[in-house]
Chains A and B, each alone.
Chain A
């Protein structure tokens, strides 16, 4: 994994530019799609936090997909949904413990963050750098057992 989408909640002003950028970046036939990123009020100070797919290491969405439409793009580290394989059973939407697999009613598609093939548009548009796409060192774990 080269880089990750890093969210710094205390820099977020709740301007929702990321949401707009995401919706337009995922347009189909010039119709904006459902935004994969959600700025929501959170934390003790009720400040805004952009909520976006965490690209889990052991993803519930990928495990719940019975037709193997979800797979990890090894280059970007993102879990990508193959729309041609998806049968819209909503298993991933219900299974994701962070609610980041979404149903786009306008296009009748299940959607999730794909990190825009390794160049997330939301990070480009964030005026306060609360969203940054940057390389981070892999997390070291304690040996188990």
Chain B
């Protein structure tokens, strides 16, 4: 265990734990767009910057991304000092210049007092802040279907060669984790379209409800050792079957008086 000071409060933390996780546990609200507990920290959005110093640093201060900074003994952290807030405002200002139409980003920026960007707006931009969370989650799930391609101004999230990705199974995890809701998909009839690839939805024969795609069910079945027939019916039908089974197993006969 190490002892650190966050905003004047002495806090105990495990060795190797990241600053952001400790702050979150202490109930301190630090904005972060690219952070997700399922994947390793990446430090892309730069919003979780905090000010750190130590007694022996003779007044020297450093500004670090808290999601990537492991705690050290005697660390003194300021999460909302004027300099840190100014840094966050600048980052939000720059992100707003890239994605001026993102409602999520507009809301977060407005909370920090940034109502419009003072930089030149990127022409023909989308709502992607290039945090790479979708690509990291995709890799964490083991599919590696999308990645960031190109460099500098041409960098974007795309499948390999910008063609329909062969490894994608249409699980929609990238859609779910995207902080700015930039990834789009379409469920039409029995077909799901995402990243330019079409998937067949696995529809329950009894209730007609579709939860996942056929490709995802097959991938789960082979990788996680789950019988493929578990996916045949929806959760509603599974519950109904369990109720029937439990009802028939119950002891309905009246107890004999002894």
Residues of A within 8 A of B (CB): 7-10, 38, 40-45, 47, 49, 51, 60, 63-64, 66-67, 69, 82, 84-91, 93-103
A-facing residues in B1-53 (Cβ within 8 Å): 36-38
Cβ of A91 and Cβ of B220 under 8 Å apart? yes
User: In the assembly, what is the distance between CA of A7 and CA of B242, in Å?
Assistant: 12
Check B244–A89 contact: CB distance below 8 A: no
Chain A residue nearest to B246 (CB atoms) is A49
Min CB gap B35→A, angstroms: 9
A99–B242 CB distance below 8 A: yes
Q: Are B246 and A7 in contact (CB-based, < 8 A)?
A: yes
**A66-B142, A101-B235 given; 14 more Cβ-contact pairs under 8 Å:** A40-B239, A40-B240, A42-B248, A43-B250, A49-B247, A51-B246, A67-B140, A69-B38, A82-B37, A84-B37, A89-B171, A94-B217, A99-B235, A99-B236
B191 at interface by CB-CB < 8 Å? no
Binds A, one of B76-84, B106-114, B182-190, B224-232: B224-232
Cβ of A81 to closest chain B Cβ, rounded Å = 12
> Is B220's CB under 8 angstroms from A95's CB?
yes
The answer to whether A87 and B248 have CB atoms under 8 Å apart is: no
B177 with A87: CB separation less than 8 A: yes
Closest to B237 in A: A99
Contact of A8 among B140, B177, B211, B250 (CB under 8 A): B250
In angstroms, Cα B220 to Cα A95, docked, is: 8
Whether A97 pairs with B216 at a CB distance below 8 angstroms is no
B234 within 8 Å of A (CB atoms):
yes
Query: Any chain A CB within 8 A of the CB of B141?
Result: yes
> Which of A42, A67, A93, A101 is most buried by chain B, counting CB atoms within 10 A of its CB?
A42
Interface string of B156-186 (1 = CB under 8 A from A): 0000000000000001110011000000000
* A10–B250 touching, CB < 8 Å: yes
Q: Are A43 and B37 in contact (CB under 8 A)?
A: no
Do residues A47 and B247 form an inter-chain contact, with CB atoms below 8 A?
yes
CA distance A60 to B230 in the complex (A): 9
Q: Which residues of A contact B250 (CB under 8 A)?
A: 8-10, 43, 47, 49
Those of B107-146 within 8 Å (CB) of chain A: 137, 140-142
Known contacts A42-B244, A69-B38; A89 and B225 CB within 8 A of each other = no
Interface pair A87/B38, CB less than 8 Å apart: yes
**A103 CA to B252 CA in the complex, in Å?**
33
The 12 sampled A-B contact pairs (Cβ below 8 Å) are A43-B246, A43-B252, A49-B247, A49-B250, A64-B220, A67-B38, A87-B137, A91-B171, A94-B212, A94-B217, A99-B239, A99-B242
Q: Which of B176, B247, B249, B251 has the most CB of A within 10 A?
A: B247
Are the CB atoms of A89 and B217 closer together than 8 Å? no
Say how far A83's CB is from chain B's closest CB, in angstroms: 9
A13 to chain B, nearest CB (A): 14
A46 to B230, CA, bound (A): 25
State whether A91 touches B252 (Cβ < 8 A): no
Determine whether the beta carbon of B252 is less than 8 Å from that of A45: yes
Are the C-beta atoms of A85 and B224 separated by less than 8 Å? no
Q: For A66, what are the chain B residues with a Cβ–Cβ distance below 8 Å?
A: 140-142, 223-224
Q: In this complex, what residue of B is CB-closest to A46?
A: B247
Contact B211 A94 (CB under 8 A): yes
Picked from A7, A63, A90, the residue with its CB within 8 Å of the CB of B226 is: A63
**Contact B234–A64 (Cβ < 8 Å):** no
Inside 8 A of B212's CB, which chain A residues have their CB?
89-91, 93-94
Known A42-B247, A66-B142, A97-B230: A86·B38 in contact at CB below 8 Å: yes
List, in ascending order, chain A residues with CB within 8 A of B238's CB.
96-100
